[in-house]
Amino acid sequence: MVMKKLLRNPLSMAGMLILLVFILVAVFAPWIAPTPANYANDPYRVPRYGWGSNPSPPTKEHPMGLTQGKYDIFYGIVWGTRTAFQVGLIVTGFSCCIGIIIGSISAYIGGKFDEVVMRFVDVFMSFPFLIAAIVITTVLGRGLDKVILALIMFRWTAYARLIRGNVLQVKQEEYIMAARAGGVTHAKILLRHILPNTIFPVLIQASMNMGSIVVTASTLSFLGLGAPEGYADWGQMISFARNWILGTPTNPLAYWYTVVWPGLAIVLFVLSWNLIGDAFRDIMDPRIQG
């Protein structure tokens, strides 16, 4: 039903097509951008061709050119797709699990316990997401794993709040009371009766946030706080472009390829999630349907 509506809407259709392309690129990365023999032990390291620091324009061998440090842009984008999906999936998966567990238990127990947990969530949510992530990566040190950890730490609260609202509603339903009266244990009620009726909106919301999580992760890389230098990562590709953005005195657009290609990759990735998400919201929210 939902799928049919999504396929009928040209915008969400476009979103799904773009996403499909990204999935294919991620899956077939070793064939699209084969790893050179001398880099074979770590395919996520972007190969360098030459030793200068300045970028070189696209050629036949390097269709998108080489960025600062002579890193191959095409290779970085193709393998960066894998990095993007990894970060997105791990952060969404873990923060969703933590949020659902804490949020649903808190709502199910209710009372003082719930009050304390929610104030705790409030404090977490009172920091700008990006700033919080910066603090964690500063304290823990550099690296993609630290970025993922930081994002999970400050992401789960949103899902906890979401599922809590849903559980509070369902808790009042008669079939829950019936289950209690029938002597079903609390754990079983939560798992069998409450979660199946509350979890789906949260899962949808979480998957739609994938785009914004990838943006935050690449922002951290852009600020020089994410992946180590040379790791296939879109944000880092763009941070390389920063020093060359003004081109040469005679040609201000001389190094356009250093920012345009990786920029396009991020924008299209996020756009595809947002197109699908926007259509989803319209389908789920009957108020806006005219």
Partner 1 sequence: MLTFIARRLLFLPVVLIGVTLLIFVAMSFLSPYQLVSTYIKSPEELKNQSLDDLVRKYGLDQPVHIRYMNWMKNLLKGDLGYSVSANMPVTEAIAKRFPATLELALFATIPVVMGGIWLGTISAKHYNKPLDHFSRVFAIVGWSLPDFVFGLILLMLFYGVLGWFPPGRLSMWADSIVLTGDFVRYTGLNTIDALLNKRLDIFWDAVRHLIAPVITLAYLWWAYLLRITRSSMLEVMNKDYVRTARAKGLTERVVMNRHVRRNALIPVATVSGSMVLGLLGGVVIVETVFDYKGIGLLTATGAQQLDYTLVLGTTLFYGLLLVLINLVVDVLYAIIDPRVRLE
Which stretch, 65-73, 80-88, 135-143, 176-184, contacts partner 1 (CB under 8 A)? 135-143
Comparing CB distances to partner 1, the nearer of 190 and 217 is 217
Q: How many residues bind partner 1 (CB under 8 A)?
A: 51
Least Å from the CB of residue 147 to partner 1:
12
Structure tokens at 282: 């319209």
Contact by Cβ (8 Å): 219, 229: no
Beta strands in 196-285 (DSSP E): none
Per CB under 8 A, contacts with partner 1 among 32-71 are none
In the region spanning residues 242 to 261, those forming contacts with partner 1, defined by CB under 8 A, are 242, 245-247, 252-253, 256, 259
- The b/e string for 158-191 (b: 16+ C-beta within 10 A; e otherwise) is bbbbbbbebbbebbeeeebeebeeeeeeeeebbe
* Sheet strands (E) in 103-207: none
Q: Tell me whether residue 133 or residue 190 sits nearer to partner 1 (CB atom).
A: 133
Residue from 37, 139, 181, 183 binding partner 1 (CB under 8 A): 139
The region, left, alpha or beta by phi > 0 then psi within -120 to 50, assigned to residue 258 is alpha
Run of H or E including 76: helix 73-109
Q: CA–CA separation, 273 vs 5, rounded Å?
A: 16
Binding mask 81-120 for partner 1 (x = CB under 8 A): --------------------------------------xx
Enter the tokens of residue 129.
């997401």
For residue 132, the minimal CB distance to partner 1 (Å) is: 8
Tell which one of 130, 184, 199, 208 touches partner 1 (CB under 8 A). 130
Among 21, 56, 274, 283, binds partner 1 (CB under 8 A): 274
Angle of the 144-171 helix axis to the 73-109 helix axis, nearest 10? 30
Name which position in 211, 213, 233, 240 contacts partner 1 (CB under 8 A).
Answer: 211
CB-wise, 95 or 218, nearer to partner 1? 218
Distance from C-alpha of 112 to C-alpha of 156, rounded to nearest angstrom: 21
Of 144, 139, 41, nearest to 83 (Cα)?
A: 144
Place of tokens 């947990």: 117
Residue 13 interacting with partner 1 (CB under 8 A): no
Q: Give the binding site for partner 1 (CB under 8 A).
A: 11, 119-120, 122-124, 126-132, 134-141, 211, 215, 218-219, 222-225, 235, 238, 241-242, 245-247, 252-253, 256, 259, 263, 266-267, 270-271, 274-275, 278, 287-288, 290
